[in-house]
Chains A and B, each alone.
Chain A
């Protein structure tokens, strides 16, 4: 007994039960309200698109790792559900009138090109889901045209069926068309044309609250992003606060702010860095929206993702007791 070799490792010898896989499963659960609302609003085609993007994301990760000569058992053991999140987000960020193969292209691109080639989970430079969405948008938007109107009519009776987002009409400086939808419609996604997962903001907010309660995301950061976007839109339109709610409740802002911009890998590592990142995101989103009248959240996130290494290089915390040294030097 005394000579038997035991498990040996560096301290600490107790660890919290939290794992990457658990975090990602929680993110998947947090996406469920929006997924369900998407299927309710857009019907069977939404379910098909979501399942195709999910399955192709997971499958492409497995195929890539199999090509890398990992055994199937090992891949299954190390599978951490990040590709599930990516797959779901890709599916959620496109409309139901896209061809059925569009989500497959998007998911495979997101997983293989954006994530796996850079080294897998945690090594990607930019958010895979955002890039996948942009890939689909660039490739298929011309083919598709306008967004599809959901099955459920709006509470107020109006419908927006032209243009990408409600904001497009609102921000058109020459002849602003005020929407026939109320802010309640924007919140619930009723009568609002758009992507599968983006229309029902309430479901997304619920998911965000779930993640915040579990401590997976800091709810302050998405709030900063959304608030800065809203306020900057208000400022750009002559401080007309009527723009605030439509600005924050339309387009992909909620999905982007809660689920895409908060992705661990592509956010800065310090509190100050994060604040800079999310404020910049808000400014870029509002500014680009004003300039292009298009939905730009994903472009803003992609753009800021590339700034993260720079922010991390310059924003560093002072070690405990560090400030005192500076003072002592100054005193001398």
Chain B
């Protein structure tokens, strides 16, 4: 056991964290909805393939969609009931995705996996893959893939930074379910064959740091409050001092980063034999009446979650799935809890501070804030003029889309939008070229 202070990475920004809105509220369970809408694209990679038909009776914890290829994940029913429809729906992100819609019959009981008899690394990875666990830090990369690295690793880094403003669910889990997280971490470390475990927690969560002090085999690193501390590359740098080279992955420097929520899911899958059907979220923002930390089932409509939190007070102008810095705005409230859900924010006009963009004044504030040390203004202007080769030359593909540039831009330019557009175009160009 050791507690040490983490490094500071150059640049980055300080965002008003707004965590006080629901920092002290324990996690509450949202009652199951009448209808749950389970997407087949709850993760990065190929969409899952539904294996149930309309009219089938399903139990909670029953496999309803199988993984499709190596980078994919199983999907389980989150309620007991009947499949009423399998159709393509336009969701709140503006994407058309295949959904399995299940009518909840409100009966008890659920299906569980068999108790594990041997805890070998391969058996643990197999269980995590079977349970359909994906990285819950936001990207949704299937965890089992991350647990089978090509080269031996040295560090298991647990991400408890939660650097996004507003969000508190990781913090609440760290103090309410410390032991479960610890067990999950131990199983994950075993699966990877690593004995150096580091948990990085931002300094604004002293209770969580205290909670993890008691374990002998975990190093707690107190991270400086700096955005984007939760970014994989920056977390690795701040906890171990290693820099992930441009275009490489964390396992290239012998590190593996997992979120605390993923650890809870792993614990539940391995020890409690539960498939992955429950997620933890923060419902916050000044547009919602009661800000809460909640536990909810995958597929719960966001409208039901908002009703559980006392409804809206009419001030909200913008709804965000995820954190305010990297989350996705919702086109409408026809959106349903996904595996990677971490927050639902109802932001007021005062909070969003949205204004029309004006001319770039070349102040270089974006370049001074970029944690990846890029030149966002050049990438943007090349992206807008369609010169994607130059955008790539200025490092567009290194962008982690953390939003530090656009947050402080005095001209309010949509830098992240232009850069992610450039990234998509560059990927397209490369695919066509090869």
Q: Which residues of A contact B303 (CB under 8 A)?
A: 1-2
A121 within 8 A of B: yes
Q: Which residues of B contact A317 (CB under 8 A)?
A: 367, 373-375
A320-B318 Cα distance, complex, nearest whole Å: 33
How far apart are A309's CB and chain B's nearest CB, in angstroms?
10
Contact partner of A122 among B165, B237, B353, B360, CB < 8 A?
B360
B331 touches A8 (CB 8 A): yes
B410 touches A22 (CB 8 A): yes
B395 touches A319 (CB 8 A): yes
Q: How many A-B residue pairs have CB under 8 A?
A: 172
B345 touches A13 (CB 8 A): yes
A268-B368 Cα distance, complex, nearest whole Å: 12
Contact partner of A6 among B237, B329, B354, CB < 8 A?
B329
A265 touches B364 (CB 8 A): no
How far apart are A209's CB and chain B's nearest CB, in angstroms?
19
A316-B238 Cα distance, complex, nearest whole Å: 24
Q: Which residues of B contact A119 (CB under 8 A)?
A: 359
A319 touches B374 (CB 8 A): yes
A322 touches B246 (CB 8 A): yes
A162-B410 Cα distance, complex, nearest whole Å: 45
B324 within 8 A of A: yes
A73 within 8 A of B: no
Near B by CB (< 8 A), chain A positions 1-51 give 1-20, 22-23
B351 within 8 A of A: yes
A269 within 8 A of B: yes
The range of chain B's interface size is 35 or more
A76 within 8 A of B: no
B354 touches A15 (CB 8 A): yes
Q: Which residues of A contact B27 (CB under 8 A)?
A: none
A6 touches B330 (CB 8 A): yes
Given known pairs A80-B358, A265-B362, A319-B373, the reply for A12 and B411 (CB within 8 Å) is no
B372 touches A16 (CB 8 A): no
Near B by CB (< 8 A), chain A positions 287-328 give 316-325, 328
Near A by CB (< 8 A), chain B positions 7-57 give 9-10, 15
Contact stretch, chosen from B190-198, B259-267, B399-407:
B399-407
A270 within 8 A of B: yes
A80-B375 Cα distance, complex, nearest whole Å: 24
A123 within 8 A of B: yes
Near A by CB (< 8 A), chain B positions 305-334 give 317-320, 324-334
A269 touches B375 (CB 8 A): yes
A316-B393 Cα distance, complex, nearest whole Å: 11
A11-B373 Cα distance, complex, nearest whole Å: 19
A13 touches B318 (CB 8 A): yes
Q: Which residues of B contact A120 (CB under 8 A)?
A: 359
B359 touches A324 (CB 8 A): no
Contact partner of A14 among B245, B334, B353, CB < 8 A?
B353
Q: Which residues of B contact A239 (CB under 8 A)?
A: none
* 5 A-B pairs whose Cβ atoms sit less than 8 Å apart in the complex: A11-B406, A20-B410, A121-B361, A264-B361, A319-B372
- In order of increasing CB-CB distance, the 9 nearest A-B pairs are A12-B403, A10-B417, A269-B364, A264-B363, A122-B361, A122-B359, A14-B324, A321-B243, A324-B245
